[in-house]
Amino acid sequence: QVQVVESGGGLVQPGGSLRLSCAASGSIASGYDMGWYRQAPGKQRELVAGISHGGNTNYADSVKGRFTISRDNAKKTVYLQMNSLKPEDTAVYYCYVRLGYVYWGQGTQVTVSS
């Protein structure tokens, strides 16, 4: 079994920054991909950013140049640095770990508002 726990959400003003963290634990060793999805009220869940076990990254067009995903394999942790935040970034952010099966975290709320 794999556990996925996010942290770092909160309320921030437009133009501000937040860093999300996501730690995986349990039956996981190597070869897994990690990343972030988000879901805003009334909208479908969408991919924000992903990072493969080899370090390759991909981003949604809406966050390119503003968000940066990284990982620390020794800590089994993925990070999402979010800069220049906009109100439309407001959503619940979900971390995933993919190792054949996809494991999800419980989600962390990010609210961008003045």
Task: Tell me the CA end-to-end span of the chain in Å, nearest whole number.
Answer: 40
Query: 36: pLDDT confidence band, cut at 50, 70 and 90?
Result: very high
Amino acid letter, 112: V
- Three-state DSSP at 87 gives helix
Sign of CA dihedral 76, 82, 88, 90: positive
User: CA–CA distance from 112 to each of 18, 26, 30, 48, 71 (Å)?
Assistant: 10, 33, 35, 16, 24
Q: What is the pLDDT of residues 48-91, one digit of tens each?
A: 999 999 999 999 999 999 999 999 999 999 999 999 999 999 99
Q: What would the mean pLDDT of 28-50 be, rounded to a whole number?
A: 94
Q: What are phi and psi of 71, to 5 degrees?
A: -145, 155
Q: Which residue has the tokens 């370090």?
A: 55
pLDDT at 12 over 90: yes
Q: What would the mean pLDDT of 90-95 be, rounded to a whole number?
A: 98
User: CA–CA distance from 71 to each of 12, 77, 98, 103, 111 (Å)?
Assistant: 23, 6, 14, 17, 24
